[in-house]
Structure 1
């Protein structure tokens, strides 16, 4: 067979492209929702963080999860919660934000190592001298359980923060944005500070900014390579 493998490779490429576009569209839509409902988003994120901490404590008590890794996960989620102080504004040079990014990678690596290790021998296998290296498959977590744990307890909160928070470099000067930009809002001629009603200052989420930058990069490179024409050439 010669044509069918080529069709298979083409299908994988097309599926990957559609999956990437679907993820980008979802991030853009979620960023729009957070921009419109910041108070509700902060409340949901706070409850989500403390809910995951509760789940982590229950896993230690009932499923005998490792105490050190569970404690690290709890502390990491408390650090994630500290980024909600000035929600949705975040300063990329903030030590807590940088620490949060490091904790995401550390938690992923340590938990991946934990689930990759072979299970210790249970009491039933220790007493069985004929098969001392037999694995107890009843106590081994399934792929769906491990994937669900990573999705809910390791990746969900950092992903939600990435979608919800707005980078300080993309914030226009407005009331309360001095923390993100590091500048002072200049007073107007009437002697009061310029507020949000004086201009259309709107925060831009990090996920939305990432999608916009990738889209602009693809459009500019496409125009340079002649794949499509820009708006100026269309007018003439």
Structure 2
């Protein structure tokens, strides 16, 4: 009985530590991408080209369905449109919303393809010597989904940023004054700063947890102070 409880507690702790490790890794990757925006953009472009070529080669070499392949290629064309304003993105942008929809549909179509049972022709249904078509192994399916379905959308999600407008720094202000022939007054302009979506989500979740815990602590302290005051 105690061993089973230890097993449950160990599984919960392992899941928590794994989640924190993934969140920390995504946070670090998001910071690296913000510092190397142009290099990330070039990498994503070349990756999209390479995966489109892989999709096309899988049709004659492995007999992949043409319609599903064409939809995947069209999806990558939509993913490519997100690079026009890279790394900034609006969560209400039609291209971004269409990209999210394409990810879901693309995943469903290929999952249906690999999960479908092989069709045996009627003339070979009772033939003991008939060899059914080879089914992809788990490693092959996982590799295909990881590289050809999930990699680019996941990389875009980590790389894209929400635009945040901030006041220019003192150095930017001085440089602007020098370029305007030392004008006496210059109204400060807002400049755009990249804020990673992953960092925004993690920071928001962290702030929510802190507000919840600190709010409960303040509530307990307030009730304690009230009790002391009435006493």
Identify whether the pair has TM-score above 0.5, normalized to the shorter chain.
yes
Query: Which digits, 9 at most, give the CA deviation of each residue in 1:145-172, with x for residues without a partner?
Result: 111111111111111001000124xx11
Q: Note if contact 1:121-1:135 (Cα within 8 Å) is conserved in structure 2.
A: no
Q: Using the alignment, how far apart are the partners of 1:189 and 1:7 within structure 2?
A: 72
Q: Using the alignment, how far apart are the partners of 1:135 and 1:221 within structure 2?
A: 61
Instruction: Tell me which residue corresponds to 1:202.
Output: 193
- So what's the TM-score if we normalise by structure 2? 0.80
Q: Using the alignment, how far apart are the partners of 2:16 and 2:200 within structure 1?
A: 20
Residue 202 (structure 2) pairs with residue 211 (structure 1): yes
Instruction: Tell me which residue corresponds to 1:182.
Output: none
- Give 1:131 shift: 3.7
Give structure 1 regions of 4+ aligned residues with deviation exceeding 4 angstroms: 125-128, 188-193
Q: Using the alignment, how far apart are the partners of 1:58 and 1:4 within structure 2?
A: 52
Which of 215, 224, 227 matches 1:224? 215
- Give 1:193 shift: 7.7
- Seen in structure 2, the aligned counterparts of structure 1 residues 108 and 191 have a Cα distance that, compared at 3 Å, is same
Bigger Rg, which one:
2
Instruction: Tell me which residue corresponds to 2:141.
Output: 146
- So what's the TM-score if we normalise by structure 1? 0.78
**Which ranges in structure 1 are unaligned for 5 or more consecutive residues?**
176-187, 230-236
The structure with the greater share of residues assigned to helix is 2
Secondary structure of the equivalent of 1:44? helix
- Give 1:190 shift: 5.5
Q: Using the alignment, how far apart are the partners of 2:100 and 2:31 within structure 1?
A: 23
| Count of matched residue positions in the alignment of Structure 1 and Structure 2 | 205
Q: Using the alignment, how far apart are the partners of 1:54 and 1:84 within structure 2?
A: 19
- Seen in structure 2, the aligned counterparts of structure 1 residues 193 and 74 have a Cα distance that, compared at 3 Å, is farther
Query: Which digits, 9 at most, give the CA deviation of each residue in 1:194-233, with x for residues without a partner?
Result: 375xxxx531110111111111111111212339x9xxxx
The RMSD of aligned alpha carbons is 2.7
State how 1:2-151 maps to structure 2 within 5 Å.
2-121=1-120, 127=124, 129-131=126-128, 136=132, 139-151=134-146
Q: Using the alignment, how far apart are the partners of 2:4 and 2:118 within structure 1?
A: 39
- Give 1:191 shift: 6.5
**Which ranges in structure 2 are unaligned for 5 or more consecutive residues?**
169-182, 221-231
